[in-house]
Amino acid sequence: MSPTVGIVVPAYRPDVPELRRYVTAIVDRLAPAAIVVELDAPETGVPARLDELPASVETVPYRRGKGAAVTAGFETLDTDVLAFADADGSTPVDSLATVSERVRTGEAALAVGSRRHPDATVASHQTFARRFLGDGFAWLAGRLLSVSLFDYQCGAKAITAEGWAQVRSHLYEPGFAWDVELVAIAGALDLRVREVPIRWEDQPGSTVSPIRDSVALFRALLAARHRAKQLRDDRLHTAIAARRDEPTALVERDR
């Protein structure tokens, strides 16, 4: 039997027509066994407008953050492959299919979509500031983590159910930094990580603040490196952790 695929689409204040178009295209192209839209802090009337969406829509009245939303969605899935794609449709459906296929065929335990890979195709570019900061972050992450990639933050990734079972209790970042934490923890647990060049279409109206979120990403990168080092039984990082209060993993929150 072919491995089943489940897809989560985290959405915060989405463009409803675009979200409907994107989810419908995912269903038509990938025919996933399950698709879940995790909808945060929707404006009045939006949930009702999504009633006919060909997906399960889980609505939360506050903003959890991308990482918390994807984690919550993954926890509801009972499929062999768990994938997610950002709601703005920046990752075309064909590229999401390619990322999922790398895991479905056993080529990778974690497949990471990449806008910055030399073989990627960028149909429309981010602003210079966002591009510059993103490139700088990727360069730094590649030197601090055991997994070296061109792009850690692209909004399209897929992981095996077995891989998710291993990493889930080690993820703490509720926001955009969740992506890099996922990669760091997967690498520390010796999961097979593969970078997949995609076609990328940058969309206007991003909720990412280049300055504020870059600072948060840098702090999260250091935290992810620390947790990854702990998992590798690094003596220094284990000693540091022993002096700190243990945070609560995302999967244990709100229970």
Q: What is the CATH number of the domain that holds 207?
A: 3.90.550.10
Residues 232-251, mean pLDDT to the nearest whole number: 82
Which of residues 135 and 128 earns the better pLDDT score?
135
Query: For position 201, what pLDDT does the model report?
Result: 81
Residue 39, SS3 per DSSP: strand
Residues 40-65, mean pLDDT to the nearest whole number: 94
Domain range spanning residue 233?
5-252
pTM: 0.91
Structurally, the chain folds into a number of domains equal to: 1
Complete DSSP assignment for 184-209? HHHHHTT--EEEEE-EEE--S-----
Query: For position 6, what pLDDT does the model report?
Result: 98
pLDDT at 235 over 70: yes
Highest mean pLDDT among 4-8, 233-237, 242-246: 4-8
The answer to whether the CB of 125 falls within 8 A of the CB of 206 is no
Query: For position 236, what pLDDT does the model report?
Result: 80
What whole-number distance in Å separates Cα of residue 96 and Cα of residue 154? 11
